[in-house]
Structure 1
Amino acid sequence: MTAFAFHTARSVLFRPGGAADLGPLAGALLGPRVLFVTDPGIRRLGLAEAALASLGPGVTIFAEVEADPSRETLLAAVAAGQGATGVVGFGGGSAMDVAKLAALLLGSGEPLDAAWGVGNAKGPRLPLVLVPTTAGTGSEVTPVAIITVGAEEKRGVSAPVLLPDLALLDPELTLGLPPAITAATGIDAMVHAIEAYATVNPNANPISKLLAREALRLLGANIETAVRRGGDRDARGAMLMGAMLAGQAFANAPVAAVHALAYPLGGIFHIPHGLSNALVLPQVLAFNASVAGGVYAEIAADAFPDLAAIEGGQARCAAFIEALAGLRARLGLPSRLSEAGVPAGALPRLAAEAMKQTRLLVNNPRPVTEADALAIYREAW
């Protein structure tokens, strides 16, 4: 066993209805002046009102976070939070990512441009609490924040200082998620687990592998129920827990080419992140199968128990890839890039943009060239 490090949130609390008790649970940590980062949809649906009421006076609400949040949005959140003593990120991955970086920039004053990349953000940051409202990104337990810079480029900050003091998991917040969002975010969480298990990052570790397998077990067993019966509290709770475990896994054993090829789809065509991953997942796994087929075979039955009966690593790997494509179709997600509005003429540009995701591509089991990326996009189109 090689040396590794494993970092996660200081505290994780799974508590149905817990968002309504955010003040009693975290008020002492956050202090008297709280920056509450969320998005317009959360406010419109009223999901944050009980949490806000529990925090009492002294809350500054920044509810302007968009999908694939921009640098300008982040800086606006920082401006709104001047004088804050603590930060809450309440929402999906976008809101939590903005909250992480706002806490960093407000607490340290370090320039954003010095923080991009892996291990460059130093801190300190303000006290930070993250409350997910989707079961997908796992951002509540990861040291990663992704921001769109300029019109299309996604950049990331990855550093342990971004891990929160508290991740509060309240499955009641996910009960109203529409089927399409439930499906896409659930597939996103499965990708996190798959890539964390198969990563060739030097910090690949047995803890992440264990968490990834349990995440796949929970997600595979519950995603279809959560999509079809959105009010099923057991399924929603299992999905939220699975997404969090997958987040802990890839926070320490980073993701790879699926995400690298997904990012340009979000940056250029504004396809939601979970769907972007789903659109290229089978093709990337098929590309990797020649070197990682045995690895994928090890986890195939975690997500799809029936695959345990298939003998032979490559045969089980092929069945795993087919099962993932079948799951995507059963969940009602688009199966082709063309169905998601991506024109064939854009594929070379997507391949060129994917090559910029070097921090992810180095983790892939098989090296990916620009020609490889283009071939994968063509297979997915």
Structure 2
Amino acid sequence: MTINFTFETTPRVICEAGGAARLAALCAELGATHTLIVTDAGLERAGVLGPALEGFAAAGQAVTVYTEVLADPPEQAVEDAVAAARDLGADLIVGFGGGSSMDTAKLVALLVGRDQALTDIYGIGLAQGPRLPLIQVPTTAGTGSEVTPISIVTTPTSEKKGVVSSLLYPDLALLDATLTLGLPAAVTAATGIDAMVHAIEAYTTKHKKNPLADSLAVKALALLTGNMDAVIADGSDVAAREAMLQGSMLAGMAFANAPVAAVHALAYPLGGHFHVPHGLSNALVLAPVLAFNRPATEGLYAELAGVVMPDRRFGSAAEGAEAFIAFMTEMVARMPFAQTLREVGVAETDLEMLAVDAMKVERLLMNNPRVVTKEDAFAIYSSVL
């Protein structure tokens, strides 16, 4: 049987501890005369931008820092950022931060020079170019947004919608592990699980599964599971932090080409309604979705068991699948974050609403190896209440 597939990714990646100090030079290479760094106020207060801004000052290059990014970016916040970039006359955009900052930066770079409404480009392939030059600098090892063509926005009705377009791939992704050293353990854990979910769902996706994405997902999962405990125990371990960043990026490359499914679909309503961070939302529903999908993914789970437990041997696919689900369930359970929906503000009376909203995420549910009904979603949420 032949496999037809297309694979796209960010054309240039630099992985360099301390590399943020030469961000100004990288912007100059792309012709920038006035760079806009899109980030959040917390990163600015923490001084994470310091090395990058020192480089701009030393080079005498114009740079403005925009710090109004909000978690789970609302439409209005994105539109405000676009307006700020227009007023400034920025000619290069840098996304500096977690997924919210990078997703916002993508849309700023895309929309600033065009008369194109954000609400008109939700979906796949509806955006129009050209866009401004774009550099992405992740400060968490989780979303992989620096290598994906996707930007997620929260609508006024608390629904998560995506803009999906090859135009959203940046010109450059800069991975600097030193930027992640100050992350609290809970954030490190949640973002790390997020990246693992990307790898797992890319490997088991119903649509567009391909050998390139598979190989990236396997390497990503090995790096992430092999280094998670180390970065939780010692957040200053630069080598482990860098491995997590690399794993997150590789998982991003994988799911950009072999799309995610039910874990993400059920996580989105938690973020939209209860403002649960995306990585934690994924972590909360991961184990029950893995168990739900097992009848359709047993062989694939067995293969992944060999990735995360390379020293073990399994007598059958069933044994391997069971071991893989147990491995991931135990990993989530020992992480320093909320373990139930009640802990993040969800009540039993909210489960029906969550299940209804999860069914609206058809773009992702169609990729799930098993069909998910509203009743299935309700049962999954109920199991982690």
Q: What residue identity is the alignment partner of 2:349?
A: G
Residue correspondences, number = 379
Note if 1:21 corresponds to 2:22: yes
Aligned-residue CA RMSD in angstroms?
1.2
Residue of structure 2 equivalent to 1:159: 165
Residue of structure 2 equivalent to 1:133: 139
2:148 and 2:180 map into 1 onto residues whose CA distance is 20
Residue of structure 2 equivalent to 1:284: 289
Q: What residue identity is the alignment partner of 1:17?
A: G
* Deviation of the 1:339 alpha carbon: 2.9
* Deviation of the 1:310 alpha carbon: 2.3
Residue of structure 2 equivalent to 1:68: 72
Note if 1:321 corresponds to 2:325: yes
Q: What residue identity is the alignment partner of 1:222?
A: N
* Deviation of the 1:151 alpha carbon: 4.5
Indicate conservation of the 8 Å contact 1:171/1:236, yes or no: yes
4+ residue segments displaced more than 4 Å: none
Residue of structure 2 equivalent to 1:50: 51
TM-score norm. by structure 2 comes to 0.96
Residue of structure 2 equivalent to 1:6: 7
Aligned pairs for 1:72-221 (under 5 A) are: 72-82=76-86, 83-201=89-207, 203-221=208-226
2:148 and 2:322 map into 1 onto residues whose CA distance is 30
Residue of structure 2 equivalent to 1:348: 352
**CA distances 1:109-153 after superposition (whole Å, capped 9, x unpaired):** 322122111111122110000000000000000001011111511
Q: Which deviates the most, 49-58 or 18-27?
A: 49-58
1:57 and 1:137 map into 2 onto residues whose CA distance is 30
2:48 and 2:289 map into 1 onto residues whose CA distance is 36
Note if 1:297 corresponds to 2:298: no
Indicate conservation of the 8 Å contact 1:138/1:246, yes or no: yes
Q: Alignment partner of 1:305: what SS?
A: coil
**CA distances 1:256-312 after superposition (whole Å, capped 9, x unpaired):** 000000000111111110010000001011111011111111112212335x32221
Percent identity of equivalent pairs:
54
Aligned pairs for 1:233-252 (under 5 A) are: 233-252=238-257
* Deviation of the 1:375 alpha carbon: 1.2
1:30 and 1:285 map into 2 onto residues whose CA distance is 46
Indicate conservation of the 8 Å contact 2:24/2:61, yes or no: no
2:116 and 2:251 map into 1 onto residues whose CA distance is 30
1:63 and 1:57 map into 2 onto residues whose CA distance is 19
2:293 and 2:320 map into 1 onto residues whose CA distance is 14
TM-score norm. by structure 1 comes to 0.97
* Deviation of the 1:35 alpha carbon: 1.5
1:311 and 1:196 map into 2 onto residues whose CA distance is 25
Note if 1:262 corresponds to 2:263: no
Q: What residue identity is the alignment partner of 1:272?
A: P
Q: Which deviates the most, 30-39 or 229-238?
A: 30-39
2:11 and 2:313 map into 1 onto residues whose CA distance is 40
Q: Alignment partner of 1:250: what SS?
A: helix
Residue of structure 2 equivalent to 1:330: 334
* Deviation of the 1:342 alpha carbon: 1.3
Unaligned runs of 5+ in 1: none
1:231 and 1:109 map into 2 onto residues whose CA distance is 45
1:41 and 1:11 map into 2 onto residues whose CA distance is 28
Q: What residue identity is the alignment partner of 1:226?
A: V
Q: What residue identity is the alignment partner of 2:219?
A: E
1:318 and 1:6 map into 2 onto residues whose CA distance is 31
Q: Alignment partner of 1:25: what SS?
A: helix
2:19 and 2:84 map into 1 onto residues whose CA distance is 26
